[in-house]
Structure 1
């Protein structure tokens, strides 16, 4: 069993040390470099970043949908706080991984159905009847990632897909 299967931490530290030595011009035993798993791990970093983006977008859409459709009043502030935290998380993620910006519209579109199903399930668990049909709700990237909340005026067009960073530096 290789270090990769036995202990990923030991494997990553060893491979990183070998790669640093090689980058510095030092000769290393080529057989010690686990190229297949190095490539897989590099690709997994990108998948992980996309997964974080999808998760945060899904959570925002779910909570925006509940804010728009739920008759409940007590949990609204908590839903807004969750949206604000997820927007801040996405802003930090986009600063660290700017290339994810080009995937925002697609991510919002892909997560809409999942998020609406979660919102519907949550309302059903709480015996709430939505005030509006959840299947009719649509949000743009601008609505999901910008400062907008349901009930604020004016409501940006859901067809708008422009995204301006939520960063206020």
Structure 2
């Protein structure tokens, strides 16, 4: 990007977010710290960490939902469930590799995500409330373990094709 003009010609944050980002990035690269929209830049940087946390929580919830279905509807196991379990584990691990400071975060939100996953499992499976445990039956190490699949043993031979 060409050199940024004077501060009064910068795009306001609320007017064009993409342009504002480009301009703020150019200001940082040029070392023009006094021209930065410091408050909004700081807020955007902080939101990046919150975004990673939201993504980890969301992926953990999807993973727990599929583990519940896997265990409590073993006769209905589908290839898609297996793929979702595997993908969510890989994606969570990728996020944790990129941000090691969030390594303990999945365990911190497990109870909340389990409650949501349990409600979804009730709706999706048609099973009764009493058919599912009230508290998460899986530890975070099991949940993220590539080889862990709760319930009866399985093989690819007994998966339903979607």
| TM-score calculated relative to the size of structure 2 | 0.78
DSSP 3-state at the match of 1:36: helix
Q: Quote the Cα distance in structure 2 between the aligned partners of 1:95 and 1:71.
A: 32
Equivalences for 1:13-32 in 2 at 5 Å?
Answer: 13-22=22-31, 28=32, 30=34, 32=35
1:105 match: 107
1:25 match: none
- Tell me: higher relative CO, structure 1 or 2? Use CA pairs within 8 A at least 6 residues apart: 2
Q: Deviations over 1:80-129 (max 9, x none)?
A: 110000111111111111111021211222211011111111112xxx55
CA contact (8 A) 1:70 1:130 kept: no
2:48 match: 45
CA contact (8 A) 1:15 1:34 kept: yes
Tell me by how many angstroms 1:144 deviates: 1.1
1:3 match: 12
CA-based RMSD of the aligned residues comes to 2.3
Q: Quote the Cα distance in structure 1 between the aligned partners of 2:112 and 2:20.
A: 35
> Which consecutive unaligned segments of at least 5 residues does structure 1 have?
23-27, 154-169
Q: Deviations over 1:145-169 (max 9, x none)?
A: 112001367xxxxxxxxxxxxxxxx
Distance 1:13 1:136, change over 3 A: closer
CA contact (8 A) 1:54 1:107 kept: yes
> Which consecutive unaligned segments of at least 5 residues does structure 2 have?
1-10, 154-162
- Count of residues in Structure 1 that have an aligned counterpart in Structure 2: 143
1:164 match: none
Tell me by how many angstroms 1:138 deviates: 1.9
2:151 match: 151
Distance 1:91 1:116, change over 3 A: same
